[in-house]
Chains A and B, each alone.
Chain A
Amino acid sequence: MRPLCLHLPVSRHTKGGARIVAEYNVLIAGVGGQGVILISELLGNAAVRDGINVRGSEVLGMAVRGGPVVSIIRLGSDVYGPLIPAGKGDILIALEPSEALRNSTHLSPSSKVILNTETTVPFTVPLGESTYPAMDEIIARLNKVSSEIISLNAREIAVEAGSSLSANIVMLGAAFGAGQLPIKLDTIKEAIQAHFPAKLATINIKAFDLGYQQSRVHHQ
């Protein structure tokens, strides 16, 4: 029988520094156009560079035209499937508060939430077909299902870094600042550098650093 590629010997590929993990589940949630998929691509590319086994999935197509977008990245030697089993999420990177809530059933009591406080209100709210929950309610509910919420206004920080379009990278930085992602800092930065043309790379590295610092400050 040929190897099924399910038992990749992680240790053999691991370069110094990256932590060897059995299973670490990242859920990235937001709205079409916020750059959810890019976060998962960067995480995946960095994981490969660090020699970490990586699986994931996303939903595209009809689901993207203004609808919710969820992307999954799973790291570690015990990971086989493309989906996070209910209740096994380790970190939720939420680019939109109500989408954080929508995906909170995936979380485990020890999980962390990185929350962008900037809302994107769907058109059904001004149409009077639905209501948008109050931020206090969102935070209270997320508190019940996670160990820590790190909230920040990613757009404002991104503007500080040089472009509001880098809000997703601010969130990625904040996720690393939370201190559990098994990917090396240098490696994720290499992945960011490799993805963007030089000028945008500088802005995005700054966005990453600012998000990271914000998260560290929150932590202390």
Chain B
Amino acid sequence: MKELTVGSDAPGERLFLLGNEAIARGAIEAGVQVAAAYPGTPSSEIMETLAGVAQQLGIYVEWSTNEKVAFEVAFAASLSGLRALASMKHVGLNVAHDAVMTASYAGARGGMVLLVADDPWAWSSQSEQDSRYVAEQGYLPVLEPSSVAEARDMMVDAFRLSEEFHHPFMVRSVTRISHGRSDVTLGEISKERRQGHFAKDPARMVFTPSGARKNRPLMIDRFNQIKQAVDTFPGNHLELKNGARLGIIACGLSYSYTREALKWLGLEGQVSLLKIGTPHPLPERLVKELLEAVPEVLVAEELDPFVELHVKAIAGGSNIRVNIHGKDLIPLVGELSTRLLTEAIARLTNSRLPIDFAAIDKLGAELAPLLPARPPTLCPGCPHRASQYALKMAGKRVAREYGQDAEAVYPGDIGCYTLSYLPPIESMDVVLCMGASFGIANGLAHVLDTPVIGQLGDSTFFHSGIPALLNAVFNKAKVTMVILDNTATAMTGFQPHPGTGYTATGEKTTMVKPEDIARACGVEFVEVVDPFDLKQATDVMERAIRFNGPSVVVSRRPCTIIDQRNKKKAGEETIIYHIDQERCDGKCEACIKLLGCPAITKDDGRTIIDDTLCTGCGLCVYTCPYHAILKGVPE
């Protein structure tokens, strides 16, 4: 059996793909030549997939330092006539926002696609956010697939349309598309390889006030042409049913749920259905046709009532009398599902529910108190746990001197280490967005009379920590800024960043050290510690907090997952720890209560170290008042 991969030129063959792989495949088939991204769940695998085939297919792929840079890199390629992709998660779009807003003024030369993955229910994000509003603000047309297979199709469409209309296009994915899986039939891979050529045209490329005034009408004109074209776009499709009382407008993935719900309710063929593949701009003719054909309409879409509001505007503007439902029947919070659609449709059609959902909810409510809480947690041997422990001890020591009840304040950031806000570590007091730990720390330092300790990871530091660090120097903020350097973008799957010394495609490059940047920015206290040398790490952090001015501590230790992999490769043995049961009283549980390490657990009243989980970091040794934790396996 011949093994197919996502890079195989095998039109007509079927492959089982992750949604993000299907998205990457679409870009490959469209002949993308430049692709850039900053990792972020649920979008990361798109660029990982492209990086994997970059050499084979002649695509330039990079992990950029942040989403704004990624967008600019891709957009520059488009301006030079190449097909280009920037991909990011919804909150990454906020970082790229400034560039995106003016890029649509400039338009595109080579096909320019911005892939944004929204995260309904915020499975791995700080917020739910509907990126279609950003697209609307920037006059960006949006394609939104209803399935993994259609995500592949729409990527191909987006490149083609972007080039046809000389305008950047957005493709909106959601978690259940990006991390959905499906069989996908492969299409042909474009072999076209263009040479970059930058045709100078300052009137269109230089955005001064006069440039803005000149280009805004041109942008609106391009957008209006696209608006005319979407009625016949194959991703939009109207099925009118004779005598139907209800019409459903289903955008993107909600179309799949709607199809299932109608089948479940036995209403197939009795409800008119408009599938929306272009939420922005909407296919107005098709929308009007549906609104005129039925007395009642339900709009289904992930997250905000974006399509719903526009459909209401179309109905109002055309004086069509029709009841339009949407977020009055479908929750504004969380993901859609076949069940939610089934319930909403049943209500509008007075249909019997196919199963007793209330009984399922009752069962769920009965089970909830029986289930052990299983929050995500730092891995056994995670260097962040040691860094947090050191930071908290150092913060406590210094805070005491500010008054009896004084406590250090710890702004935190986005990464695995965010998990340390949870008990028992509880060392992050405010977490907002990428890089905000240092920015928030700056502000706190000017209004609080207590130690302020901001902390972020190495990748986050390169992404957006540097301006706030510089700000602390410039504005004399007395803050301690800790860089938790585990030499990895660990949370999203170990993508390279400027500190790793290699690129997305595995090429060697300059290894940038955060401490060098801190010194270059003018920070006078810069130290590097190993968090597993807990005593020294704590002492250095204490000195950093006491330092009269901004201070930086780089707490450096590779991510334990990488470390274990490297040891395995090198054939190195991991020496683990055990608890001497003669010395341990089994009741104090200081190791458990202070660290919350998954490797330390209880067995029949005894406190033990799980030898399958321990990675030998030795942090627990410091917590034991009985010196009962010993290196090696018991004899």
**Chain B neighbourhood of A129, CB < 8 A:** 373, 423
* Chain A: minimal CB distance from B280 (Å): 20
Which residues of chain B are within 8 angstroms of A48 by Cβ–Cβ distance? 14-16, 183
Chain B residue numbers with a CB within 8 Å of A81 are 176, 253, 256-257, 259-260, 337-338
Known contacts: A121-B601, A123-B596. The answer to whether A6 contacts B370 by CB under 8 A is no
User: Nearest CB to that of A46 among chain B residues?
Assistant: B16
CB proximity of A85 to chain B, nearest CB, Å: 4
Cβ < 8 Å to A, chain B residues 1-15: 1, 3, 14-15
Q: Secondary structure at chain B's binding surface: helix, strand, loop or mixed?
A: mixed
If A48-B14, A58-B179, A105-B364 touch, whether A65 touches B416 (CB-CB below 8 Å) is yes
The minimal Cβ–Cβ distance linking A96 to chain B, given in whole angstroms, is: 9
Partner of B1, one of A61, A85, A190: A190
Q: In the assembly, what is the distance between CA of A133 and CA of B370, in Å?
A: 6
Q: Is A45 an interface residue when CB atoms closer than 8 A count as contact?
A: yes
Query: A110-126, CB under 8 A of B: which get 1 and which 0?
Result: 00000000000111111
In contact, A57 and B264 (Cβ under 8 angstroms): no
**A101 CA / B419 CA spacing, docked (Å):** 25
Contact pick for A101, options B371, B596, B597, CB 8 Å: B371
Known contacts being A66-B374, A101-B367, is A127 close to B424, with CB within 8 Å?
A: yes
Residue total for B at the interface (Cβ-Cβ under 8 A): 73
Among A2, A13, A99, find the residue whose CB has the most chain B CB atoms closer than 10 A.
A2
> Can you list, as one digit per residue, whether each of A66-79 has a CB less than 8 Å from chain B (1) or not (0)?
11100001000011
Cross-chain contact B181 with A44 (CB below 8 angstroms): yes
> Once the chains bind, are B370 and A123 in contact (CB under 8 Å)?
no
Determine if B377 is an interface residue (Cβ-Cβ < 8 Å): yes
Q: Is the CB of B182 within 8 A of A56?
A: yes
Which residues of A have CB within 8 Å of B600? 123, 126
Is the pair B3, A44 in contact by a Cβ cutoff of 8 Å?
no
* Cα(A140)–Cα(B237), bound, Å: 48
* CB neighbors of A among B144-200 (8 A): 146-150, 153, 175-177, 179-185
Could you tell me the distance between the alpha carbons of A57 and B18 in the complex, rounded to whole angstroms?
A: 8
CB distance from B186 to the nearest CB of A (A): 11
3 smallest CB-CB distances across A and B, nearest first, come from: A61-B124, A61-B41, A5-B149
Report B's interface with A, CB cutoff 8 A.
1, 3, 14-16, 19, 41-42, 123-124, 146-150, 153, 175-177, 179-185, 234, 237, 253, 256-257, 259-260, 263-264, 275, 335, 337-339, 342, 355, 357, 360, 363-364, 367, 370-379, 416, 419, 423-424, 491-492, 589, 592-593, 596-598, 600-602, 607
Could you list which residues of chain A lie within 8 angstroms of chain B, going by C-beta atoms? 1-2, 4-6, 8, 13, 31-32, 40-41, 44-45, 47-49, 53-68, 73, 78-83, 85-87, 98-99, 101-102, 104-105, 121-127, 129-133, 137, 141, 145, 190, 194
